[in-house]
Every structure is written in C-alpha cells, then in structure tokens.
C-alpha cells in the first residue's frame, strides 16, 4: 500500500520537473526568447546561400549580400552582435528554428501556408517577382505559362524551396526533376538549358546572371509573373518578443533609407521592390 503512494508521488514529481524544464528553457528544443538573446548579447543566425540575398565566398567563407547587410544593420541598431552559426537548406531551415539551433533565418524567404505552420514571419521590407523560364528557341509555350501544366512537361525544382510548391500547386499535371536543397539557381537553370527539364521558376536577377555567363541559353515564358512574394525573415513560433523587436528594427532601416541603399549597393534595386512608402518618407 505504502509503495503505491510512493510511486504515485514520484510520478507526480517527475511530471512537474519535466514541465518546469520545458517552461524554463531547459531543453535544446525550447526557443530563445528576447531576454535570453539580450543576456547572451548576440543573435544566432541560420542562413541559406542564395545570391544576391546571401553570398558566400567559396575561398574565404566570407558572407555578404542584401539579407546579410540588413541583418547586420538591424542587429547593430538593437545592440546585438551577430553569430552566423549554420548554413542550411531550404527544406531544413525551419527545423533548425524549432530545435533552437539558431534564433532567426538570416536569408529572407518567401512565406507560404506550409511554412507558416511552424514559423512566424517578419514584416516585408521588399517584394520580388517569380517568372517561368524555358530553353531558348523552345516555341511550345508561346501561348503562355498555362501550357506548362501538361503531363508531357518536366519542371526543374529544388527540394523544399518555393519552386517545388509552385510546381505542385499551379502545375500539378507536370512532372518534376527535383535538385538537392543546397542547389543554386544557376544549377536549376542549367537543368533547363541542358534539356533535363523544360522549364523552371526564378527571379529575373537570377536569370540575368545566368544569361550573362550563358548567352542565348534560356528565355522567359510569358510576360506576367507567376507569383509576387514578400521577402521576410523567419523565427520560431513562440518567439514573439524577438519578432516584435526585429520588426521595429526593420521599420527603422526602411524609414532611414538603409534598405534602399543596400539594394543600390548590390545593383538589384530594379529586381526587388520596397513596399509603398508613406507620404513624406524616402523608402
């Protein structure tokens, strides 16, 4: 009789202890709140290499790019050092937030409903357009992008990246060739130019860079974009304090002209578009 009461009491104490451990952040999966970040004095950043937003020098490992500069400026205004802790892929980046390997994804991403189930997004400081591109000289799609939704068409995508969602949602009849998560936009376009796929989706800045090195290899399909996307930063669900202060820092950078200057620095002001400016500001 007494041993049963002891076992029950031990079980209750164990449950309470486990609950306290999760509440107090005693597990690796517990997200960092703002107070922990300020106590640490630095913000941990996971990132996806995606020029021109996030560029990594293959020789030195040095990082640069539009998103990199925005993160560095926002952190500086918040009085935080930056710790770029991990390069990740499109499909694994949110898992790193959930398991507390970093506090924020430092490469701006495009939000969608699937990602929103496990992450929260900052306000956008710029927008970008996504177009379809096919092989130069291929006249099958002169009638527009709707012709891509066909069982005889193969689309090049990247696992876990927005191209995979667009292919599935908008062109469900088409087949896909999925490249690994860390593949570059140039590799995807090469898949099309090399006749392993018929079309893919990317931003004009990526297509222009590819054409510069491979003239006459690809062409835009249709004149209208497939999607317009917000460019946002992502944090783990439950990290609302961090998101609030990050949004404040982004607003400050937009209003003082920093975002505009960063876009001009990387010569992409014609590819990324800031939100409509309030009257009297210089966004």
pTM: predicted TM-score of the whole model, two decimal places: 0.76
**pLDDT value of position 101:** 96
What is the predicted pLDDT for the residue at 270? 79
What pLDDT is attached to residue 281?
Answer: 53
Rounded-to-integer distance, Cα 269 and Cα 266, Å: 8
Query: What are the structural domains, with CATH classification, of the chain?
Result: 33-125+231-273 (3.40.190.10), 128-228 (3.40.190.10)
The per-residue pLDDT for 277 is 58
- Compute CA distances 149 → 106, 195, 260, whole Å: 34, 18, 37
**pLDDT score at 32:** 67
Write down the pLDDT at residue 35.
Answer: 84
Would you state the pLDDT for residue 278? Answer: 57
Q: How far apart are CA 147 and CA 74, in angstroms?
A: 43
Phi, psi (rounded to 5 degrees) for 56: -125, 120
pLDDT at 181: 83
Tell me the mean pLDDT per 10 residues along the chain, length 283.
Answer: 45 40 40 83 96 94 97 97 95 92 96 90 92 96 94 94 91 96 91 97 92 96 90 94 96 93 90 69 52
Instruction: From residue 172, give the alpha-carbon distance in Å to each of 23, 97, 113, 186, 205.
Output: 43, 30, 18, 24, 26
Predicted confidence at residue 26, as pLDDT, reads 36
For residues 60 and 63, give the distance between their C-alpha atoms in angstroms, rounded to a whole number.
Answer: 9
pLDDT at position 31:
62
């Amino acid at each position: 009789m007494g041993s049963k009461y002891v076992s029950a009491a031990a079980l209750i104490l164990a449950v309470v202890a486990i609950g306290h451990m999760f509440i107090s952040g005693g597990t690796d999966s517990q997200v960092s709140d703002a107070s922990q970040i300020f106590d640490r004095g630095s913000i941990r950043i996971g990132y996806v290499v995606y020029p021109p937003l996030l560029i990594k020098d293959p020789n030195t490992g040095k990082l640069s790019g539009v998103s990199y500069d925005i993160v560095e400026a926002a952190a500086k205004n918040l009085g935080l050092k930056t710790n770029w802790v991990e390069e990740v892929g499109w499909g694994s980046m949110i898992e790193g937030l959930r398991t507390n390997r970093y506090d924020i994804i430092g490469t701006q991403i495009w939000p969608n409903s699937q990602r929103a189930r496990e992450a929260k997004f900052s306000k956008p400081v710029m927008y970008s357009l996504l177009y379809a591109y096919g092989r130069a000289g291929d006249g099958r799609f002169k009638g527009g992008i709707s012709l891509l939704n066909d069982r005889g068409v193969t689309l090049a995508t990247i696992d876990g990246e927005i191209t995979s969602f667009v292919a599935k949602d908008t062109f469900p009849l088409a087949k896909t060739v999925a490249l690994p998560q860390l593949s570059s936009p140039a590799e995807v376009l090469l898949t099309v130019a090399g006749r392993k796929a018929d079309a893919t989706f990317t931003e004009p800045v990526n297509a222009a860079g590819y054409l510069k090195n491979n003239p006459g290899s690809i062409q835009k399909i249709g004149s209208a974009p497939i999607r317009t996307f917000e460019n946002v930063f992502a944090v783990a669900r439950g990290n609302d304090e961090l998101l609030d202060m990050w949004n404040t820092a982004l607003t400050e950078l937009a209003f003082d002209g920093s975002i505009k200057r960063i876009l001009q620095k990387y010569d992409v002001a014609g590819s990324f578009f800031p939100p409509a400016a309030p009257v009297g500001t210089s966004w």
